[in-house]
Amino acid sequence: MRMREIRELVRPRASGLGRTSVLDRCHDMDDLRTAARRRLPRAVFDYVDGGADEEITLAANRDAFRRVCFSPRVLRDVSAPDLSTRLFGADLRSPLGLAPTGYTRMIHPDAEPAVARAAAARGLPYTLSTVATTALEDVAETGHTNLWFQLYVLKDRALTYALVSRAEAAGFHVLEVALDTAVAGHRTRDARNGFTIPPRLALRTVLDIGTRPGYWTSVLRGAPLTLANLQASDSPGQRATVAALNDLFDPAVTWDDIAELRARWPGALILKGPLGPADVRRAIEAGADGVHLSNHGGRQLDRCVSPLDLLRPAREAAGDRLALVLDSGVRHGADIAAALALGADLCMIGRPYLYGAAVGGRAGVERAVDLLVAQLRRTVQLLGVTDLTELRKHGPELVALTPSPLPHRPAGGEDGHV
């Protein structure tokens, strides 16, 4: 090989600075997670990444998708796959949405508005959490027309209903009620880290500043961390430990509360949690428009069934009367293809977009979405289908679930290469 050819091979791949950015070097969710781990203080990374108790469900959510085995069709013209879909009267560019996550400002100072802008730019819905760090009116100001609001039914019902009215007035499209948080899950990593919100300057935190100056300078320059939607109230939680969230949640919520919310909310209403077929039927009776099958990404009930295993029974119970959204463990576009083939209308992600936000704010969220959508497009093409209607129609031939997870080894080793 001549010198000139070697030079060509090692030429920097990006223009401008002559080096690729960290985001460009993230080629899958493992890479993005590794980059986020390097960027965030340990306690903050663990808050995002961790699960409840022994983290059995956290791992099982991934194992569920590793049981997916595809049987593709061949000799179909797949040159222009159409990934677009329509849900609750809104057009989506891909069957993907951003799930509600609390305390985003702790992960990146641009916080929830940056996530909303990324979602709008990619034509996807974004769900704002009750425990967001930006007021819902300010997120609506981004102009994103497909915003969902996730509601926790709080002990203070007047405050709960005030949130519903505010979400309606601000133009939120969908109300999603989280039903898996009768009490806060026990996240062992948070307990071990003595994790508080906002992060306290304990000795360990001070030492962390030395190794993560970029994170700390951006957080210190940013707006203060508050539960912005609950600020007007006397609620606890302005400077609360994660465990103190328990004071907000109401363990006494019942189907009567859903009836009350149905009466108050004129738009699409979705129930979020690990609902089995009996509860799916109950949701239809209660007038819900959709069910979001979720075990909170393994952060609530450990040993909870994986949403992928709830999907077929839920679809059988619901028929076409309900939309089915699924999250918990989606890390690859192939996961989305499998979930749609098994009966889902939409997949959502939590941690993947937070890893992206940690690394690059809005650009990082867009990177996470772009990776998943590119993987989904390729999977659909290799499966030999041209659009999502076909994917659903031929789902039973295209996807089987093996009894145990297929063997897996991360490309490039456990730590990726970022």
Active site annotation includes 296: yes
Give the footprint of ligand FNR on residues 313-332 (CB under 6 A).
327-330
**Residue 89 φ/ψ region, left for φ over 0, alpha for ψ in the -120 to 50 degree band, beta for the rest:** left
Q: Is 197 in the site for ligand FNR (CB under 6 A)?
A: no
Beta pairing, strands 68-70 & 268-273: unpaired
| Catalytic residue selected from 108, 173, 296, 332 | 296
From 369, 362, 293, select the one nearest 328 (Cα to Cα): 293
Q: How far is the CB of 249 from ligand FNR (least distance, A)?
A: 11
Q: Is 150 in the site for ligand FNR (CB under 6 A)?
A: yes
Cα(348)–Cα(336) distance, integer angstroms: 9
Q: Is 94 in the site for ligand FNR (CB under 6 A)?
A: no
Q: How far is the CB of 73 from ligand FNR (least distance, A)?
A: 29
Coil, helix or strand at residue 296: helix
Applying CB under 6 A, which of residues 81, 95, 109, 297 lies at the interface with ligand FNR?
Answer: 297
**Residue 145 φ/ψ region, left for φ over 0, alpha for ψ in the -120 to 50 degree band, beta for the rest:** alpha
Please report which helix (H) or strand (E) contains residue 316, including its range: helix 307-318
Applying CB under 6 A, which of residues 146, 229, 294, 379 lies at the interface with ligand FNR?
Answer: 294
First to last CA, the chain: 28
Q: Which is nearer to ligand FNR, 329 or 360 (CB)?
A: 329
Q: Which is nearer to ligand FNR, 188 or 386 (CB)?
A: 188
Q: Is 364 in the site for ligand FNR (CB under 6 A)?
A: no
Show the site string, 23-62: x = touches ligand FNR by CB under 6 A, - = not: -------------------------x------------x-
Contact 78, 412 (CB under 8 A): no
Q: Give the nearest residue (CB) to ligand FNR.
A: 350
Q: Is 99 in the site for ligand FNR (CB under 6 A)?
A: yes
Q: Is 144 in the site for ligand FNR (CB under 6 A)?
A: no
From 391, 298, 282, select the one nearest 336 (Cα to Cα): 391
Binding segment for ligand FNR (CB under 6 A), chosen from 70-78, 80-88, 191-199, 349-357, is: 349-357
Q: How far is the CB of 313 from ligand FNR (least distance, A)?
A: 19
Q: Is 129 in the site for ligand FNR (CB under 6 A)?
A: yes
**What secondary structure, in 3-state letters, does 21-80 show?**
CCCCCCCCHHHHHHHHHHHCCHHHHHHHHCCCCCCHHHHHHHHHHCCEEECCCCCCCCCC
Contact 258, 238 (CB under 8 A): no
Applying CB under 6 A, which of residues 100, 109, 364, 395 lies at the interface with ligand FNR?
Answer: 100
Strand pairing partners for 401? Answer: 68
Amino acid type, 12: P
Cα(373)–Cα(379) distance, integer angstroms: 10
Binding segment for ligand FNR (CB under 6 A), chosen from 38-46, 133-141, 294-302, 385-393, is: 294-302
Catalytic residue numbers read: 296
Binding residues for ligand FNR (CB under 6 A) = 48, 61, 99-102, 129, 131, 150, 178, 272, 294, 296-297, 299, 327-330, 349-351, 354
